[in-house]
Amino acid sequence: MPVTHGVPTITINHDHQFLVCDTNATMVPTAGVGFFARDTRFVSGYSLTINGRVPLLLDASPFDHFSARWEFTSPELTLAGTRNGAEDDVILEERAIGLRLDRTIFEGIHEDYDLVNYAAQPVRLILEVAIESDFADIFDVRRRRLVRRGNLQSSWHEKAGELRTSYVNGSFKRDLVITVERSSSHAEFANGRMQFVITLAPKETWHTCVEWLPVIDGHRARVLPCSAVHPRRPEMATGELPAVDVEASHPTLPIIWRQAVADMEALRMADFAVRRSVFIPAAGIPWYVTLFGRDTLVVAMESI
């Protein structure tokens, strides 16, 4: 039987939340990817463009189970310009603009966007970020059987720089708030996308934060601060597994032990329905981030 494999993806997770995306950070609703919390897909689609063009991926890698980084560069771009009072478009060569995207996950997602201008002249850029929500059940996503069962509404709050999407299906209600923080330029919303108009002098940099905040039972999710991709943040240390280490004459054994501890940290979920500071291992990442019978019991018993 031939060996088959799926599309390469990057996954980050923490507690009951996880994010799965393509290696270029994008998400397509029908591809079984997205940002999930408490068995609901809060973000189903994501795309990023610079002046209407998709940036070129240079590298992408997780830092830890809760963080990942993407490095992009610009394709050839056409910039609006003038000469002698008349319109005269300027061609900006490929790789003139660098873009870094960092994502961390806690209760919600924190994104850091950083641009740098490597060109010899000032540039005017439009960075567009499109984020879609469908609030699909995780098992519907897994089975690729997407059915809209409730009502969706989105609204942009200009003053606060927030995009709020609400979903209601009977007594079931969920919200996703997308906020823009610490931006070097004003955020706008048009054609279903957040837009940032950016002017950069040579070697100048630009930064903004975008936060994805699920609202469940009235509680707005918390996120990690800027530049938290590495190392582990104090906010995540509550209830951390005991710092038991192994020393051995062979250098490989301590490395294996520390990796096992890190893997258990990635699987750990809080179960406050029993009592606070009770933690259980997830059955698997990403699709079985739940208390799932045999798999959870086996991992728990092997960890004693």
CATH code at position 125: 2.70.98.40
Query: Is 79 exposed, middle or buried (CB count within 10 Å of its CB: 0-12, 13-18, 19+)?
Result: middle
Q: Give how far the C-alpha of residue 255 lies from the chain's centroid of Cα atoms, to the nearest Å.
A: 28
Query: Does the pLDDT value for residue 220 go beyond 70?
Result: yes
| Arithmetic mean of pLDDT, 42-51 | 97
- 85 and 225 in one domain? yes
pTM score of the predicted model: 0.84
- 194 and 253 in one domain? no
Q: How many CB atoms lie within 10 A of CB 43?
A: 25
pLDDT digits (tens, 9 = 90+) for 253-304: 877 777 676 666 766 666 555 555 556 666 666 666 665 566 666 666 666 5
pLDDT at 169: 92
pLDDT at 93: 94
pLDDT at 254: 76
Domain that holds residue 33: 9-230
- 198 and 158 in one domain? yes
Cα(27)–Cα(152) distance, integer angstroms: 19
Cα(101)–Cα(193) distance, integer angstroms: 17
Residue 207's DSSP bridge partners are 114
Q: Which of 28-32, 72-76, 97-101 has the lowest mean pLDDT?
A: 28-32
Q: Does 157 fall in a domain?
A: yes
- 255 and 223 in one domain? no
Q: Which of 137-146, 230-239, 256-265 has the lowest mean pLDDT?
A: 230-239
- 172 and 119 in one domain? yes
- Helix or strand run (H / E) with residue 267: helix 252-267
- 184 and 109 in one domain? yes
pLDDT at 222: 93
Q: Which two tokens stand for residue 204?
A: 């100048």
- 171 and 260 in one domain? no
pLDDT confidence tier of residue 227, bands split at 50, 70 and 90 = confident
| Arithmetic mean of pLDDT, 151-171 | 93
Cα(44)–Cα(31) distance, integer angstroms: 9
Count of domains forming the chain: 2
| Arithmetic mean of pLDDT, 18-24 | 95
pLDDT confidence tier of residue 32, bands split at 50, 70 and 90 = confident
Q: Does 247 fall in a domain?
A: yes
Of the candidates 203, 230, 257, which is a domain's last residue?
230
pLDDT at 80: 76
| Arithmetic mean of pLDDT, 57-84 | 88
Q: Which of 41-50, 60-69, 145-154, 226-235 has the lowest mean pLDDT?
A: 226-235
